Amino acid sequence: MREELKKFLQEEVNPSDEMWRENLQAIIDYQDADGSFKLMDSYQVPIDARIDFCHTPTYICSAILMKAFLTDETLLGISGEEILKDALNACCYVNLHGDRYDEGRGQMENIQMFMQAGVREFLQYHGRLCSKFSRMMENIIMEYRDKEAENDCPVEWEGIVHSINHYFAHSNVFVYGTLMRGESNHEFFLSNDWFISRAIVAGFDMYDIGYYPGIIPGEGNVLGELYEVPVDAIENLDGLEGEGNLYIRRCIPLTKETGEPAFASVYIYNHDVDGLKMIPESLQPYTAEWQKGAEDYVWYVSYGSNMLKERFMHYIEGSAFESGGAYHEPCEDTSAPLAVRQYDIPYDMYFRNNSGSWGGQGVSFLDITKAGHAKGVAYLISREQFEHVACQENGGCPPEYSNDWYDTVVSIGTMGGYEVVTITNSATENFNRPSDAYIEVLCQGLQEKYPGMTIPQIVSYLVDCGNRGA
C-alpha cells in the first residue's frame, strides 16, 4: 500500500480522470480521527514499525493532499482545508525522521517527498493553514543550511543536502511579458542562469494593457518562461510588478514545454479588463516555436576548465581564452546557454595527457569504468552547439576520430526533460598532473557555480582528483 501511494504521488494531478479522482477520494476517506493515515490500528508498536506503517504513510498521503490542494483547492471538498490541516499536524510527531538506524537519510527522503508535492510554494502561500507544520519545516530548513555551511554531514549526503537547500533558497516564477529574454526588463531583473524552460499556463487569458501585457483567469492558455529565482530577488520583482496593487502574485500549476508539471508564482493583473484587447494564443511569444522539442537541446556537463563560464563561451563565440592560448572557431549559433546548473557526475575525475594549451601538462577526464563522484557545471545548449564544442575539444574533429583525447560522448541521464551528456576518453591511462594555471581556472569555475564550497573544500576535492592514477 505504501509503495502504491508513492506511485500515486508521482502522478500528475488529473481531475478529469475518473480513476485519479476515485484514488484521491479513497485517501481522504481513509484519514483517521487524529488526522493520520496509519496502516495499523495503534501507535503502540516497535519504533521502526511505527515509522514504516504509521508515520511514513501519513507523510505520503499528506503530500498527495498538498499537491492536489495547490493545483485546485476545491479538489479536497468543502472541508478541504481542515482535512489538510489535520494531516499536516499528524506529520509533526517525529520531525520527519526515518527509523532509528538511519533517521537522517529517512528525513531527507521524506523532505524530498514533500518537495515533489510543492511544499516550497505551499509554505509561501498557505503556511498559515497549519502553523505547527510550517514551524517544523522552517526549523528543518535552518538545520540543513547550517549542516552545509559547517560541512557537518557525511560525504555521501552532501549532494542531497545541497539540493534540498537549493530548493528552499529559490522560488519558481513564471513570466510572460517584459521579463522574458530579449525584453526590456529581463536583463536587470532576471539572469539567464535562472532559466528552467518555456512553459504554458492553462485557464488564463492575456490582455494588452499598453506597454506590457496582463493575464487574468479565463478560458485560454498563456505561453511564457519559467525561472528558478533566488528568494531574495522576489522583492525586486514584486516592486516592478506593483504587487498588491497593479498585479497580485499567486501560486499556479503549469506545464513545462517538456510536458513535466510544476508549480510557480505568477503575477496576475488586478484591475478590470473591460475595453482592453485580448491577445490570442496565436500572437503570444513562442507560439511559432512551441513545437520545438527537447531533442533539440542537451545539457552539456563540463568538469574541467569549461566549468568557468567565461572560458566556455570562447568555444561558442570563438577566439582564445588567454593571450597565446588555443584559438577556437565560433559556433554558427553564438547564443548563450539557456540555463546553467550545478551537476553531480556519477564518475570520478582525474588528470591525463599532455595539453599544449596548458604547458604540456594534464587536463580533466572522467573514469567511466566504475561509479564515482565529480563536480560539474551543466550548460543547456542546442545539439548543434554541443557538437561544435565536442569538435573544438578534439582539435576540430568529432569525438570518434580523436584517439587519445575526448573520443567518447557519455549520456548520463536527463534533467528537466533534456538529455545530459559529457565527453571523455574511454580508456584510463596516460596520467599526468595539471599545471598551476589549469588548477586556478578549475578553482575559479567551482567558486563561480558552487558558492557553498569553501576554498579548502575546493582544494581538497582537486587534490583527491590529482591523486587518482598518480
Catalytic residues: 241
Residue 396: left (phi > 0), alpha (psi -120 to 50), or beta?
left
- Report d(CA 276, CA 202) in Å as an integer: 20
Query: Which residues are CB-contacts of 171 (< 8 A; sequence separation ≥ 6)?
Result: 120, 121, 124, 228, 229, 230, 231, 234, 265
- Give one DSSP letter per residue of 247-301, joined into a string: EEEEEEEEEETTS-EEEEEEEEE-S--TTPEEE-GGGSTTTTTTT--GGGEEEEE
Cβ contact 215:205 at 8 Å: yes
Cβ contact 96:59 at 8 Å: yes
Say if residue 291 is exposed, middle or buried (CB neighbours under 10 Å; 0-12, 13-18, 19+): exposed
- Report d(CA 244, CA 240) in Å as an integer: 11
E strand or H helix at 354: strand 348-355
- Report d(CA 282, CA 211) in Å as an integer: 19
Three-state SS at 312: helix
Closest CA to 340 of 254, 417, 450: 450
Name the grid cell of 2: 505504501
Kind of pairing between the strands at 261-269 and 170-175: parallel
Q: What angle do CA 434, 305, 337 make, to 5 degrees?
A: 170
The one-letter code for the residue type at 34 is D
The overall longest dimension of the chain from CA atoms, in Å, is 75
Cβ contact 339:192 at 8 Å: yes
Name the grid cell of 78: 468543502
